[in-house]
Chain A
Amino acid sequence: MVTRMQSYRMDDMTKRALEGPYMEEADFDLKLIKRTKEIVKEHGIRFDPQVIIPTDDTMVDEVFNAGRQLLLELGFYCQTTKRIIKLEEWEINQVIRSLPTAWTLGEGKDSVVMHMRRVEDPTPPVIHAGPTGTLTTEGDVYVKTLRSYAQEPSIDSVGAGTLATIDGFRIRKGTPQEYRAAKTLAGWARDAITQAGRPGMHINDVAVVSPEAKICALSPEHGLRPTDGMLVAQMIELKTSLAHLSLIEHMLSYGCFVGNLMTPILGGYSGGPEGTAICTVAEHLAGAVCYNASYHYLSLTNVRNLNGTDRLGLWTISIVGQSLARNSNLMSIYDCYCAAGPGEEMLLREAAAGGVTASVSGMNLMGCGSCGGKLQDHLTGVEARMLKEAGVAAAGMNREEANGFLRQWLPLYEGMVDISKSPKGKTFQELYSLSAAKPNKEWEDKYRKVIGEMAALGIEI
């Protein structure tokens, strides 16, 4: 019954994508730029660099209202047909009201329940860990990399590395090798969780680009199961395509989770943190209504530095998370993208800041990305452990306390978030024993040092 209702909605969305108002994409972008700026002013939304986790509930709620207004005015743009999927307020409200407050991810003893979290919620956040789109070496290194996450007791879900090559063949989008990569990635993810002794663990994605190729990853035997999920991307900003809607159609009938992936650009079309925040709320709502998404990955991208752990980014993430947590059951997952690389204390400090901010703001977690995703094999399970543990430690903390911590914590790294200056660290192979996928002493010592610094500021891991 649920699937049929979703199919009706997909038919409706497809019809709108085919018959909605026609508009050139550049004109849609210009309208978004203009109206975002105006709506920010109309709703009195203002960024305050000294209050990283906003405490003004009226402004938090206005961000939600402004985001809904932006979506209602602009609609969701279909790049394939150059038509706008127009939405109405009643249907947005209906979807918001109908969303569940918890999902069971994975299967059996390895499954985890991800809850809709609220502001200052004591419920620990769930983490979807993995290389989050960063290039990874194929074969055993890939399996061991994913295993490095899966064998961390605090990690709840893995997935989402991008392969550089498959069978030595450099992967190009839209080629047979991309389709093979999708199947292979899913199989390797299953191998990794099995080796870690958690065969029912949720797999959150396979990171190939073509929506058509992603379908190849779905297989109950040696691929992604209905208890797993995949990301379906939105294009920047507030855009989709028929190929993405088609992927969703197949995923819904297969029964797996649809994760709405948003990569809003802070400093891009929607402007600064205020505009980016309302545009991001609009993208969450579009994902819920048009994608039938179960949860929403917020991968905020700084236009210059590609990360989301500076003051601008954390404020934006927090106010988006809070506005959704206070006004809906949309589960937002903060995709923590950092400037520094593995083996660097700075990466752990960025992950800690992200974990605290997102947790207090009512979000769940994903990560970590490092070095803006530019460097192959620059990712390990240790930084994901930090993100999760910081989130757990901050669960139930009030916003004032968390801001007190962040005010002392951010100056430890924010002077280095410029992607051209941030320390790049080392590769997974340099920081781990490959045979057991265990971190070396150097990396573990740095982790212990950073959690000691956090404890001194009142956050005990």
Chain B
Amino acid sequence: MLDDLANSVISGDANRAAEAAKNALTGGVDPLNAITNGLNRGMKQVGEDFSKLKVYLPEVMMAAEAMKAALAILEPAALKKDSTSIKKSKVVIATIAGDIHDIGKNIVSLLMRANGFEIYDLGRDVPIDAMISKAMDVNAEIIAASTLLSTSMPYMEDMIALLKERGLRGKFIIMVGGGPVTKEWATSIGADGYGDDGDEAVKVAYELLQRVKPN
């Protein structure tokens, strides 16, 4: 049954995923186990395949839809069993000020949501204070900023400086990414994490949540 859940996500079949979720519950599979070792395993495979270009963005979007359909059945069951069983980490994500390119940000947003993060996607060309305000409002753990433009990279640096100035730097994990952004540059401006692509961004976010505890 767990394989069926994973495969329904990999094939991007929402009807099959919902059916597999129902079957798992009637078959006595623990809903949290079904999510973790069924759906999440399938989504992890899709993310890795996308990273290797074995599949493309439309297939990833369909997988995410299948995941959503199954979660609509499994999550309420998991919460009913144990209300603390599903704690989603909150991420405020945006294409930062000055940039209207958003496909990279949309891919990261899609993969993070499909991998169990609670996503607040503010869109593109978002001022840094709006990103910080939203993160404060929703008590986010992560702020993720993307850009395709070298002329918007300084705004990432400005965001970190503003967080420090306001005494908020330790409250959030900061991730940056996008076409011209490199790991070395991310480190140089004091960001916590960087991902080469959407799949890596998910892995880095998981790893940072374990390693860097926001205050």
Contact = CB atoms under 8 A, between A and B. Distances in A.
A172 B103 contact: no
Contact of B180 (A171, A174, A373): A373
A178 B152 CA distance: 11
Most A-side CB within 10 Å, residue of B100, B151, B152, B181: B151
B180 A135 contact: yes
Given A162-B150, A304-B51, A304-B197, A209 B98 contact: yes
A79 interface: yes
Q: Which of B51, B57, B99, B149 has the most CB of A within 10 A?
A: B57
B61 interface: yes
A435 to B, nearest CB: 28
Contacts of A419: 196
A173 B197 contact: no
A33 interface: yes
Q: Which bracket fits the contact residues of B?
A: 20 to 34
Interface string B31-57: 000000000000000000011110011
A236 B103 contact: yes
Task: Say which size band chain A's interface belongs to.
Answer: 35 or more
A276 to B, nearest CB: 9
A33 B57 CA distance: 9
B151 A209 contact: yes
Interface string B49-91: 0111100111101000000000000000000000000000000
B170 interface: no
Contacts of A303: 53, 56-57, 107, 197
A271 B154 CA distance: 32
Interface string A253-294: 000000000000101110110010000000000000000000
B179 A173 contact: no
A33 B58 contact: yes
Given A303-B53, A304-B197, A173 B58 contact: no
B182 interface: yes
A315 to B, nearest CB: 13
Contacts of A375: 182
B101 interface: yes
Given A33-B58, A268-B57, A375-B182, A209 B149 contact: yes
Nearest to A376: B150
Given A374-B179, A374-B180, A420 B196 contact: yes
A226 interface: no
Contacts of A37: 58
A135 B150 contact: yes
B155 interface: yes
Contact of B152 (A173, A267, A271): A173
A45 to B, nearest CB: 15
Contacts of B152: 172-173
Nearest to B180: A374
Contact of B154 (A162, A172, A302, A374): A172
For the residues of A in contact with B, the DSSP-based class is: loop
Contacts of B180: 135, 373-374
B149 A267 contact: no
Contacts of B179: 306, 372-374
A18 to B, nearest CB: 19
Contact of A171 (B97, B103, B151): B151
A429 to B, nearest CB: 18
Q: Most chain-A CB neighbours within 10 Å: which of B50, B97, B99, B180? A: B180
A216 to B, nearest CB: 14
A173 B53 contact: no
A304 B168 CA distance: 33
Nearest to B148: A263
A282 B57 CA distance: 19
Contact of A79 (B98, B100, B181): B100
Contacts of A271: 56-59
Q: A174, A209, A235: which has the most chain B beta carbons within 10 Å?
A: A209
Contacts of A171: 150-151, 154
Contacts of A304: 51-53, 197
A208 B151 CA distance: 8
23 contacts: A33-B57, A33-B58, A33-B61, A79-B100, A135-B180, A162-B150, A172-B152, A172-B155, A173-B97, A174-B98, A208-B151, A209-B98, A209-B99, A235-B100, A269-B58, A303-B53, A303-B56, A303-B107, A304-B51, A304-B52, A306-B179, A374-B179, A375-B182
The list of the 3 closest CB pairs from A to B, nearest first, reads A173-B98, A173-B151, A267-B56
Interface of B: 50-53, 56-59, 61, 97-101, 103, 107, 149-152, 154-155, 179-182, 196-197
Given A303-B197, A304-B51, 10 more contacts: A135-B150, A209-B99, A209-B151, A236-B101, A236-B103, A241-B100, A267-B56, A272-B56, A373-B180, A374-B182
